[in-house]
Structure 1
Amino acid sequence: MKFGKRLKKQVEESLPGWRDKFLAYKRLKVLVRLVSADHRLGSSSPHRAAVEAAFVQLLNDKVDRFNAFFLEQEEEFIIRHREVRETAKAVADDEQRQPSEMRREIVDLHGEMVLLLNYSAVNYTGSPPTSIFGRSA
């Protein structure tokens, strides 16, 4: 499966609040094609330099947004995990409480953590550590 289709599928399967947090793949792809076209023509024009700079800037901005979002979610998961542990202890101590509510919390937390893992993997795949132009970004 091509990366663009994989990314689209991942966005559709993510939580609604996360959908705008993914890689701007189409915008980056357009910039790559512009640079590539200039390169094939043997051009080292100011236009190519501007497009390269736009690509690197967009990529860096997206990586910063990915990291901030991931850290925010990670912190939220740590807090929720602590709450679930406290709820589990309370359920274990009180025989009258129903464990089904707690199970639902655990399943939801686990599902969201898997989504975050997939979010991280797909955005990492689309954000190479070095630029396509042969220099570190």
Structure 2
Amino acid sequence: MKFGKRLKQQVQETLPDWRDKFLSYKELKKLVRLISSAPPFSYGSVEYGKAEAEFMRLLNSEIDKFNTFFMEQEEDFIIRHEELKQRIQKVIDTWGPSGSQPSEAEYKEQMRKIRKNIINFHGEMVLLENYSNINYTGLAKILKKYDKRTGGLLRLPFIQKVLEQPFFITDLVSKLVKQCEYMIETVFPVEEEERVKEGREAITVAGEGIFRNTIAALMTMQEIRRGSSTYSHFSLPPLNLPDSDLIQSLQLNSPIPIV
């Protein structure tokens, strides 16, 4: 699948509020076509200069857009992660076996709600990792087109700049994802039948369910990071998904295997 179609599909699969935050790939592609189709004698002309300037302006504007959105989401995730930990502790202190108001029924009910919240939270963080991956890939591809069609040498210096941008550095989000998976598997152990049932319930959520979006994101991440004949030092490394119960539950309910 061509990248433009993959990006369009991913935008459709993501959360509604995120859809205008992705790379303006189509607009950048049009500008590359406009620049590369200019007659040789027009290089350096006012029209050519305007197209070049607009291309660079849009590239830098996209970087700013990615960074702003990514950092806002990252900050929100940090806060929500801490709130979830506090909720768990409060339930244990209140309705747990040694709590102030021991109640097995209430304890299980509250923990069930928190577990679903954590699964949704985990899904959103996976979507943000995918957001970083697919936008980086789009930038690398559009810069490759630019260099190939114009004879320019923009890709290398621009990608070096991108590698230092906040939206590309996903270490913190990846750490939170792993902590969520650990929390699910240790604080909320469930039987296989219950895990499959919960997964089926989640995937039947109408329309924009986070569960469905997470599956789409994982599949896209694996596809764009898969090694190929065109693999280069600009490519992202292959994605190795963890062998966790949470990932397994996603795979069990996906129509296409994720791993």
TM-score (norm 2): 0.49
Q: CA deviation at 1:87?
A: 1.1
CA distance in 2, matches of 1:121, 1:58: 19
- Within 2, Cα distance between the matches of 1:8 and 1:63? 19
Q: Distance in 1 between matches of 2:13 and 2:35?
A: 32
Deviation at 1:49, TM superposition (A): 1.5
Shift of 1:103: 0.4
Amino acid at match of 1:134: L
5+ residue gaps, structure 1, are: none
Amino acid at match of 2:115: R
Supply the distance in 2 between the matched residues of 1:70 and 1:115 (Cα, whole angstroms).
11
CA contact (8 A) 1:28 1:58 kept: yes
Cα distance, 1:23 vs. partner? 0.9
Size of the aligned set, in residue pairs, is: 135
Deviation of 1:116 after TM superposition, in Å, equals: 0.6
Matched letter for residue 110 of structure 1: H
Separation in 2, partners of 1:21, 1:64: 11
- Residue in 2 that maps onto 1:48: 48
Q: RMSD across aligned C-alpha pairs, in angstroms?
A: 1.8
Larger radius of gyration: 2
**Larger RCO, structures 1/2 (Cα 8 Å, 6+ apart):** 1
Residue 101 in structure 1 maps to residue 101 in structure 2: no
Match of 2:124 in 1: 112
1:11 matches 2:11: yes
Per residue, is there more helix in 1 or in 2? 1
Q: Write the letter of the residue equivalent to 1:102.
A: I
Alpha-carbon contact 1:70-1:116 (below 8 Å) kept = yes
Aligned equivalents of 1:92, 1:108: Cα separation in 2: 21
Q: TM-score, normalised by structure 1?
A: 0.90
Deviations 1:25-57 (A, max 9, x none): 11111100001111xx32313212210110110
Q: Does the CA contact (< 8 Å) of 1:31 and 1:55 recur in 2?
A: yes
- In percent, how many aligned pairs have the same letter? 51
Using the TM superposition, give the Cα deviation of residue 134 of structure 1 relative to its aligned residue in structure 2, in angstroms. 1.5
The answer for unaligned runs of 5 or more in structure 2 is 97-105, 147-151, 159-259
Q: Give the C-alpha shift of residue 89 in structure 1.
A: 1.3
Q: Distance in 2 between matches of 1:50 and 1:134?
A: 19
